[in-house]
């Protein structure tokens, strides 16, 4: 087994696919490494909105700032140290708060393969 350690500085951020908002993802471990999950960091500008249907199991840990995730009429607010878990097929609206947000995420399977 290979052990990895990652920091925010290790991520190369790209705009989140399919949208124009100030929302960026940076995978640090993914299908190129041969494992079953993708691990990375997300960066949300202030007051950004992403509406999507989740194509994988996606777990986000909020590191800085805050996010609200709405699904099926219920809203979950999360700040530093809290976790949001979304399941394949969930229709969600993710909103960053006024300070934006930085997250760490783990997806199964790899989100880039699921979206292609």
User: Would you state the pLDDT for residue 109?
Assistant: 78
User: Would you state the pLDDT for residue 114?
Assistant: 61
User: Would you state the pLDDT for residue 70?
Assistant: 98
| pTM across the whole model | 0.90
User: Would you state the pLDDT for residue 69?
Assistant: 98
User: Would you state the pLDDT for residue 30?
Assistant: 87
User: Would you state the pLDDT for residue 99?
Assistant: 97
Which helix (H) or strand (E) is 44 found in, with range?
A: strand 38-44
User: Would you state the pLDDT for residue 34?
Assistant: 82
Task: Verify cis geometry, omega within 30 degrees of 0, for the bond prior to 62.
Answer: no
User: Would you state the pLDDT for residue 20?
Assistant: 86
All residue ranges of the chain with pLDDT < 70 are 1, 110-116
Please state the domain extents for the chain: 38-113
Domain 38-113, CATH homologous superfamily name and number: Jelly Rolls (2.60.120.10)
User: Would you state the pLDDT for residue 32?
Assistant: 83
42's CB contacts (< 8 A; 6+ apart) are 16, 23, 24, 25, 26, 60, 101, 102, 103, 104, 105
Residue 43 burial (CB count, 10 A): 22
User: Would you state the pLDDT for residue 1?
Assistant: 53
């Amino acid at each position: 087994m290979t052990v990895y350690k990652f920091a925010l500085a290790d991520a190369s951020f790209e705009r989140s696919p399919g949208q124009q908002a100030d929302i960026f993802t940076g995978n640090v471990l993914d299908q190129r490494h041969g494992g079953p999950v993708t691990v990375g960091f997300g960066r949300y500008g202030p007051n950004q909105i992403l509406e999507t249907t989740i194509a994988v199991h996606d777990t986000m840990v909020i590191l800085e700032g805050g996010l609200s995730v709405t699904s099926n009429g219920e809203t979950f607010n999360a700040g530093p140290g809290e976790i949001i878990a979304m399941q394949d097929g969930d229709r969600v609206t993710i909103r960053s708060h006024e300070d934006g947000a930085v997250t760490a995420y783990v997806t199964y399977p790899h989100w880039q393969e699921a979206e292609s």
